[in-house]
Structure 1
Amino acid sequence: MPKVSICIPAYMQVAYLKECLLSISEQTIKDYELIISDDSPDDSVYNLIKQFDFGGRLKYFKNSSPLGSPKNWNFAIQHATSDLIKLMHHDDSFSSPQSLEKFISLMDENPTANFGFSASKVKNVTNNKSWIHTASERQVAQIQTNPELLILGNLIGSPSSTIYRRNINIEYDNKLKWLVDIDFYIRVIQQGNKIVNTQEAFITTPTNASHQVTEECINNCQLELYEYTTLYLKNQDQVSGNTSINNHLLGILAKYRIFNKKALHLEPYFTSQQIDVLEQLLVRFKNQPIIKFIYYVYWWQNGPLFLIKIIRFLIHQAYSLLSLIRLLYNPKNYKNQ
């Protein structure tokens, strides 16, 4: 049995996939199996992989009809035989020839941890700028205790930056598209799995690429409201009293200028429970006009750009100061602020 299963759910984009496969072929450790699940409507992926020789370690599956994301992720993972699962998006790549070996060492050196992740080098394809996406020790400790805080922001990164033991036995939720990774991470940690991380970037990932799911989902009102309310309901007992998470959802409503029920136009696929969550949040705008005013100003879009940036900076600073005051006044309640 190989040490690790590298699972790639592929869909066209052969230029990115070629870079990904090249980075795999250059890895110093060869004790792996490579599983490619191909959702492409053509033979572009198959024709590409014929150019590579992985020494019999490659398992290729061509889906007769596209499974879509994330069902294709789960399909690839279901064919893994190793104890360690290394999901790789086809447009991501290993940062160095030692990356896979370091991923494995991260888990071997922490045998009580079932889930690990590294930092990521993020490259903006529009301006060629790059930065390191990483989580601090304090942030990792926070999400280990309160994984629901990931709703506020994905501190872990894309699934390509993760490695986990197959025995966690959790799949990605096929009903989700944008927040599917956050939902997965929350459920993994809620199950009691210990997490481990490194601030070294083992993965390089693009951003602002037109083919990415994030680009398809961003500024999609119905999708954002559907997925955030889905996560809210899944974790309702943990988040219903969390001021930061409730404010985060209010910010999404304000982003789309939804300040009352009349402006809440939802598609028929929303459940009554999701509608109830949104309507309960809107009550806060009605009962707390100051919050409504702050969000209205924050998402003000018709003024000069420099003025909008100044306003948003001041609001961020005011919110941080308010959180600090609450912490000093009552430290026991900090986790809910």
Structure 2
Amino acid sequence: MMKVSVCIPAYKQVAYLQRLLDSLLIQTFDDFEVVITDDSPDNSVEQCVQQYLQRLPIRYYRNEPARGMPGNWNTALDLARGEYIKIMHDDDWFATPTALGLLVQALDDNPQHDFAYAAYYNYYLDNGTTKLMTSPAYFRKAFQKDPVNILHDNLVGPPSVMIHRNKPAYRYDEKVRWTVDVDFYIRLLQQRPGFTYIAEPLLYVGMGKEQITEEVHGVREVYIPEYFYLLQKTGNGHFKSILVYDFFWRLLRNMKIRDVKDIRKAGFNGPLPVVTTYILNWQRRIPFLRKGPVSKLWMSLSFLFAPGK
């Protein structure tokens, strides 16, 4: 068994994949395998991989038929033989030669944790600019207290910024697309609380309009079913946190949900959190105050009397 499996669920983006593989070639930590699972409709990824077989310990697998996102991610994890799993999307890459080693060290030094993540750079593919993304102390404290608080704002980042121990229970929910990363983080930390954060930016995360997540960004028929499904799995108790309550308030407001019928029309038919109608009633009282500081104040006031606290 090697120390870490670098799992790359690939799809057509050969130029980006080459950049990622080149960043692996210069890593000072070398006790790893590379698992590439390919969902592409052609052999472009396979041809790219052939160029690296003599330089990297690659295991290539072609999905027949294609599994889609996140099924392709789970295929890579299922094939992984390393003690740790480092998933890398094919448009992301390691920022420094020591990046992989530092991520591995974070778990080695903290055996009580199954999960570690690092600061990173967003890299905007259309213009080549970057933005440093960090995980501030207030967020880490709330995330440690209850991982469901990540719903307020995902300040962990996408899966490429983290590493976790290789356990069969740690797989992505294939019923969702937009919430797939936060759902994974919540479930992993509910099974094994605690995490390690690395303040040094270790990765670049490619940001572009061609990404699958961009196709579903802000889509009511995606957000409502997926977030309500996630909340159904986590339970009503988390609404005791004002961070979760505020997230739910903003979700209903921003998706223009006026009543329960709108939730059903958006595609969610399961049981609703007990605070759903309560929040909708409060929002209907002052419908013209939909955003801004006054909405935040109104939300905070409603939280004081929310059911189930």
Corresponding residue for 2:246?
Answer: 247
Counterpart position of 2:221: 222
Q: Which is greater in Rg?
A: 1
Alpha-carbon offset, residue 94 of structure 1: 0.2
C-alpha displacement at 1:315, in angstroms?
4.5
SS in 2 for 1:172: coil
Judged with a 3 Å threshold, the aligned counterparts in structure 2 of structure 1 residues 120 and 289 are, in CA distance, closer, same or farther, namely same
Q: Does 1:52 align with 2:47?
A: no
The aligned counterpart of 2:134 is: 134
User: For residues 294 and 44 of structure 1, what CA distance do their matches in structure 2 show?
Assistant: 52
Aligned residue number for residue 270 of structure 2: 272
Alignment partner of 1:182 is 2:199: no
Task: For 1:314-325, list aligned pairs within 5 A.
Answer: 314-315=293-294
2:145 corresponds to? 145
> Percent identity between the aligned chains?
30
- 1:287 Cα deviation from its structure 2 partner: 4.3
Q: Distance in 2 between matches of 1:262 and 1:316?
A: 23
Higher relative contact order (Cα pairs below 8 Å, separated by 6+ residues): 2
Q: Aligned in 2, Cα 1:199/1:316: closer, same or farther, shift over 3 Å? A: farther
Whole-angstrom CA distance in 1 between matches of 2:277 and 2:124: 36
1:284 aligns with 2:279: yes
Q: How many residues are paired up?
A: 306
Native 8 Å contact 2:114 2:192 kept in 1: no
The gaps in structure 2 that reach 5 residues or longer are none
- Residue 248 and residue 294 in structure 1: after superposition, are their counterparts in 2 closer, same or farther (change >3 A)? farther
**Structure-1-length-normalised TM-score:** 0.82
Summarize deviations over 1:81-111 as a string: whole Å, max 9, x none.
1111100011100001111111112222222
User: What is the identity, as a one-letter code, of the residue corresponding to 1:271?
Assistant: N
| Contact in 2 for aligned 1:29/1:101 (Cα 8 Å) | yes
Distance 1:247 1:58, change over 3 A: same
CA distance in 1, matches of 2:54, 2:150: 37
Residue 20 of structure 1 corresponds to 20
**Partner residue in 2 for 1:110:** 110
CA deviations over 1:224-262 (Å, ceiling 9, x no partner): 001110111111133244444233223223223332345
> RMSD between aligned alpha carbons?
2.7
In the alignment, what sits opposite 1:294?
289
Cα gap change, 1:168/1:142 in structure 2, threshold over 3 Å: closer, same or farther? farther
Query: 2:281 is matched by which residue type in structure 1?
Result: K
Q: 1:219 to 1:49 in 2, by over 3 A?
A: same
Letter in 2 for 1:67: R
Give the corresponding residue for 2:71.
Answer: 71
Aligned counterparts of 1:75 and 1:219: Cα–Cα separation in 2: 28
Q: Distance in 2 between matches of 1:104 and 1:263?
A: 46
Contact 2:25 2:56 in 1 (8 A): no
- Following superposition, the deviation at residue 139 of structure 1 comes to 2.1
Residue equivalent to 1:211 = 210
Give the letter aligned to residue 294 of structure 1: L
State the SS of the aligned residue for 2:67.
coil
